[in-house]
Amino acid sequence: MSLNFFQISKSLPFFTLMLLSTFAYPKDVSLYFYGDDDSDEWHGAIQGLKEANAQGKFLKLQYALIAKKNLSEVKTYQPYAVISSLPPNDLSQALRANPEIPFFNLRIMSNDAVTTCAPNLFHIRPHHSALAAAETAWNLNKTMVAKAVLWHHTLKKYAAAQLNKRFEKNANRKMNPASWAGWASVKLFSDVLARNVPTSETTSLSFLKNNLAFDGQKGKNMFFNELNYLEQPLLFIYAEKIIGEVTTSRILPIGSRTPPCK
Amino acid sequence: MKLILTIATLLITVDVMGATNRAFVSNEKDDTVSVIDILTNRVIKTVQVGKRPRGVGISPDGSELYVAISADNAIAVLDPVSMKVIRTFECGDDPETFAIHSNGNLYISNEEDAMASVYNPRTGTLLATIDVGIEPEGVAVAPDGSRVAVTSESTNLVHIIGVPEHTIQNNVLVGARPRSVVFSNDSRYIYVTAEISGEVKKIAADTGNIIQKTFLPDEKAKPKDVLLSKDGKKLYVAGGRANKIFILDAQTLEHLNNVAVGKRVWGLALSRDGLTLYTTDGLDHQVSVIDTSSEKVKTVVKVGNFPWGIAIDD
């Protein structure tokens, strides 16, 4: 059974401190996955799980990824994080009922989702407007109309080739943006948890916002912006080849963005 | 008579094993090693060695040069005098680089196997394997031979391994994408670079505690190789896409100076006397030769395509 830091920390702070000093690191970390358990997102998350455990075995951390159907189980069993490829609106109730648990959204967002402002919802894929703005800027005055994506199976640098190779070998499919998002959600969360033990004052949410040390095999330190979107490099693809790249923070500078919800 | 023969044999050995005064540079994209005469700073030969050469090093007695030919899953062994490949031996999947123990054994990072392996390069015999994190890369042997450090690039760890038992003593979480590692001259400290976070950390080798850290003062810095000056007081850090060498105080990690070099500088090597630092500038296909006294570039030498590693036989 997983330790429930969040629940204990609210009711018994002294006991929490005792527990934390005894268990400097939690041993079993359960992550819930909501969505199709044969989807690209799922297979990506499984790859992330393998890699999280490859790190965890040296740090006495063991991760489990559990496919779930019923969102009410989040409240009952309090996993360390929830990974979802459901429409974010479907998560509204679970998000609000579990404000200390990070939820990772693997879907591309549109403006009508009221849940985008939940402080515990972290978006791995860019907002659709960021992708559109990137494509508009890149394709201006160009004859080759490129598509903006967050990952491509031909990416090689920053050890992306090795990740693509590992994923294809294990999942028997090429890594695409959806599978990269699944991989990234588990990988970045496991790295945050390995570096930072939650206390009564600081939960993994604050670490995700402030202490991320993750490049996603894309060569840039990523971070969650003020709207909890992962700022990251995007790739421009034409005829199945990478012809350029841009960092999302350069598309719409932080501060000049219109929040998608109030 | 026996004594005379022994002395004669020793003299001959010293002569045969005498330094060639050459730098050997692995060129990742054209499968070659460029040989530079370091007295004239000219390339005197280019040797085909195998696919994707990266890590290079010279045996403790100077008689053999080793080159990790990653895409051939092997080590090529060259004679530094004749500059010819004399044999190769297989050494696990995707050997990226290695460090050489004073006993002659190679500690190799096998990138795709998440493993470090120990080989006797004279026989090509596998002596041990050690499970490490994903994409192991930098390897260093402590000068006193008691420890080896291996970085795992995708798990952000430095593994400190005891020798000769080959068990992990400590796993240290460091910055994102640790690339290279070096021990202090007294074997007490380990310095490690993290490419994505642009930082250098100093770790106590016996406890694994991080005792100093610094971020390089350039947002473009993606540090790779790290080396100590001969007196151990300065740390040279190859700044990657910052196109410069950062010079830090080895004790405090305080930034002291920069030396501008070519594009995407990765590899570093120091002359035996510590007076000359050599860098591989990958995107400029050149080696920069730096005078460590003035901390200025003396000259550059054009080599093969995408130079990666460099070893000096002097």
- Summarised one tens digit per residue, pLDDT across range B224-242 is 999 999 999 999 999 999 9
Q: Is residue B233 within 8 Å of B251, Cβ to Cβ?
A: yes
Amino acid (1-letter code) at residue B74: A
- Summarised one tens digit per residue, pLDDT across range A87-143 is 877 888 888 889 989 999 998 776 555 455 788 999 999 888 888 889 999 998 888
Nearest chain B residue to A166, by CA: B112
Q: Return the axis-axis angle of helices A177-195 and A40-56, rounded to nearest 10°.
A: 30
Residue B303 tokens read as 């080599």
Q: What is the pTM of this model?
A: 0.88
Residues in A closer than 8 angstroms to B133, CB to CB, are: 54-55, 58
B137 in A contact zone (CB under 8 Å)? no
- d(C-alpha B95, C-alpha B43), whole Å: 26
Residues in B closer than 8 angstroms to A163, CB to CB, are: 154
Asked, as a colleague might, if the bond just before A79 is cis with ω within 30 of 0, I would say: no
Residue A210 tokens read as 């402030």
- Summarised one tens digit per residue, pLDDT across range B94-142 is 899 999 999 999 999 988 788 999 999 999 999 999 999 999 999 999 9
- Summarised one tens digit per residue, pLDDT across range B148-205 is 999 999 999 999 999 999 999 999 999 999 999 999 999 999 999 999 999 999 999 9
Q: Do B154 and A220 touch (CB under 8 A)?
A: no
Nearest chain A residue to B170, by CA: A58
The alpha-carbon gap from A216 to the nearest alpha carbon of chain B, in Å, equals 9
Q: Do A162 and B135 touch (CB under 8 A)?
A: yes
CA distances from A160 to A151, A157, A173, B203, B234 (A): 9, 6, 15, 28, 33
A58 in B contact zone (CB under 8 Å)? yes
Neighbours of A254 (CB within 10 A): 12
For residue B3, name the pLDDT band (cuts at 50, 70, 90): low
